[in-house]
Amino acid sequence: LTLTQAEYDGLTPVPILSPVPLSGGWIGGHTMRIAAELAMDIINSQQKILPGYRLNTTWFDDECNPDVGPPLMLREWNRGDWAALGANGCSAVCRATALLTPSIRIPHISYGCAAGFLADSVAYPNFARMMTDESSMADVFQSLGRTYSWTRMVIITGSAARFDGPAKAVQDFFANDPIEVEWLVPRNPAWDELIDLMTRNKLLYQRVFIVLGYEPFYRRVVCASYKVGMPQGSVWLSVGWHKNGWWTEDDAGVLAIEPACNGELITEYYNGGIGAAGLGAPLESDQDKPLDCMEGYTPRTFRALLEQHFVDGYPLGRNVLPGAPYTGIMAYGADGICMWAFTFRYMIFNQSHSLSELFRPTEAVYNKTVEYHKRTLSFFGVSGDVGWRGANNLPGILAVNQIQGGQRKLVKMIDLQGQMHDIPGEIMKWGNDTNPQSSWAPCVGQGEYRAADGSCQKCRRGSYYYSLTDECLDCDIGKYNPMEGGVGPTSCSECAGGKYSNTAGSSECFLCAAGNYSTNGQPTCQACPEGQYQPAAGSRNCLEC
């Protein structure tokens, strides 16, 4: 930020290969890239950690696809000299990449990748990641379940390759818990299957749902809850690395299936939704501590600058976000760059290795690099304390965010000991409900149904309560019901002769006009035939001339 072009060009570049998800099912790579580029320019310009060198990251789109990311990485590795792989955000890509990197001896750290299976340091001994292990979300769900005395939760999953693993982890976590957890089938349902699935949940009065899927899938699930007539106020639980404001977006794919499900309606039905994930930031008491890798910055001031560049792009006018940022992961790209700066300082200045020795390292040099950043390195970064201590995951505080009034709010935190703490001044709520049960209580009044706002209301005039689908159905054409709270189709009566009802859901019948007649239960009146007449309205027949 303060170097002249000549000074910048005079620094020795340290190349970092960075394939990240810029397209596909999850596009958090855009957020990672801006954070990393900003941190990299600050570190390079200050020349405090790597004097005479500059970090230089080259970005590629791995499309959040394990069939694209690893081949792309190998292709670029073969084409040039790379000191490190700072990459990936999608867990399936991370897994495939982590199995390859030891064989080509390139140090690898992920700025994302939350799946629980990546915590296995035996299967992935040289892998490390910035993002908190999503398996910890089960602790959040259990804490909430105990707080509100839930007895049952159900899991709905999207893409099998990505979400079957975390779903099984949640199911196994609750195997011996008093809270019953059922993983619903079909998995990754098509729209018609999703409608059937949500209809079954409605009839069981189910209220607590764990939805594991990318944002488009989640919008379809919420839309389906509306379509089958479930009330607002369901308890939606998920991991919290989704894009901020995803529930407000008009999704063309969803609108093509159900035109009513625009961003406004999804927001209404998703209100109260809960996302559990790593906090991705220090506690408030540490927000003004100086960062170890960027002189003059604190987590608070760096994040403020970063949020401005989410609007303006970085460099200015470039790398503009395609929509809202993934604010929960905004610190990880920056801290990943800090990690590489400290690691290269150690290898170049402390261990006296040349840069060329890091491009195609011997096994000993490669192991030394991995050993340092996985077991020794520790610093205070934008996300808080960073240090793996030999694990694949960073220990982290869990955040519990809830959508209230269409906005995401931090409502609770879970500390490193697994204890849940309230956020001062914040309460969890679902509309006006602050104590949600795991099931809706059936309405007990005659002819009552559960309305969209969660209240019990009588079926309106012109309709009746149908218990098999727990909803109000309109009286057929030719019938009417003048009373609220009717139960069953017998609540609707045929229009008497001389009257008609030409629309479903009628609360009254209308007189046939003079010159017309009708028999019982007719949707329309018939004109008197030739040679007959009827001078009075509301007649059952016509008179001979």
Contacts of 252 (CB under 8 A, 6+ apart): none
Tell me whether residue 333 is in a domain.
yes
Provide the b/e sequence for 268-297 (b: ≥16 CB within 10 Å). bbbbbbbbbbbbbbbeeeeeeeebebbeeb
Tell me whether residue 39 is in a domain.
yes
CA neighbor of 108 nearest in space, from 73, 62, 139: 73
Please indicate, yes or no, whether residues 367 and 229 belong to a single structural domain of this protein.
no
Look up residue 79 and give its two tokens: 């084409």
Name the pairing type of β-strands 543-544 and 532-533: antiparallel
What's the domain count of the chain?
A: 2
Please indicate, yes or no, whether residues 173 and 44 belong to a single structural domain of this protein.
no
Tell me whether residue 294 is in a domain.
yes
Please indicate, yes or no, whether residues 294 and 372 belong to a single structural domain of this protein.
yes
Tell me whether residue 437 is in a domain.
no
Please indicate, yes or no, whether residues 236 and 152 belong to a single structural domain of this protein.
yes
d(CA 278, CA 388): 15
CB neighbourhood size of 481 (10 A): 25
Please indicate, yes or no, whether residues 227 and 205 belong to a single structural domain of this protein.
yes
Tell me whether residue 253 is in a domain.
yes
Determine the pLDDT at residue 1: 62
Cα dist from 303 to 42, 51, 245, 292, 439, whole Å: 13, 25, 18, 15, 40
Tell me whether residue 164 is in a domain.
yes
| CATH assignment at residue 160 | 3.40.50.2300
Tell me whether residue 471 is in a domain.
no
Please indicate, yes or no, whether residues 62 and 120 belong to a single structural domain of this protein.
yes
Please report, in angstroms and rounded to a whole number, the separation of the first and last CA atoms in the chain.
Answer: 101
Please indicate, yes or no, whether residues 126 and 139 belong to a single structural domain of this protein.
no
CA neighbor of 502 nearest in space, from 480, 475, 524, 525: 524
φ, ψ for residue 314, nearest 5 deg: -150, 125
Q: Three-class SS of residue 26?
A: coil
What single-letter DSSP state applies at residue 320? Answer: -
φ, ψ for residue 203, nearest 5 deg: -70, -20
Tell me whether residue 378 is in a domain.
yes
Secondary element (H or E) of residue 413 = strand 407-414
Please indicate, yes or no, whether residues 95 and 12 belong to a single structural domain of this protein.
yes
Please indicate, yes or no, whether residues 86 and 144 belong to a single structural domain of this protein.
no
Please indicate, yes or no, whether residues 145 and 206 belong to a single structural domain of this protein.
yes
Please indicate, yes or no, whether residues 157 and 287 belong to a single structural domain of this protein.
no
Please indicate, yes or no, whether residues 66 and 114 belong to a single structural domain of this protein.
yes
Range of the domain at 140: 135-278+405-422
User: pTM for this structure?
Assistant: 0.83
CB neighbourhood size of 354 (10 A): 9
What does each of the 545 residues of the chain score in pLDDT, given as a tens digit? 678 888 999 999 999 999 999 999 899 999 999 999 999 999 999 999 999 999 999 999 999 999 999 999 999 999 999 999 998 999 999 999 999 999 999 999 999 999 999 999 999 999 999 998 888 889 889 989 999 999 999 999 999 988 999 999 999 999 999 999 999 999 999 999 999 999 999 999 999 999 999 999 999 999 999 999 999 999 999 986 788 899 999 999 999 999 999 999 999 999 999 998 888 999 889 999 999 999 999 999 999 999 999 999 998 888 889 888 999 899 999 999 999 999 999 999 999 999 999 999 999 999 999 999 999 999 999 999 999 999 999 988 889 999 999 999 999 988 877 788 899 999 999 877 889 999 998 999 999 998 888 889 999 999 999 998 889 999 999 999 999 999 999 999 999 999 999 999 999 999 999 999 999 999 999 999 999 999 999 999 999 99
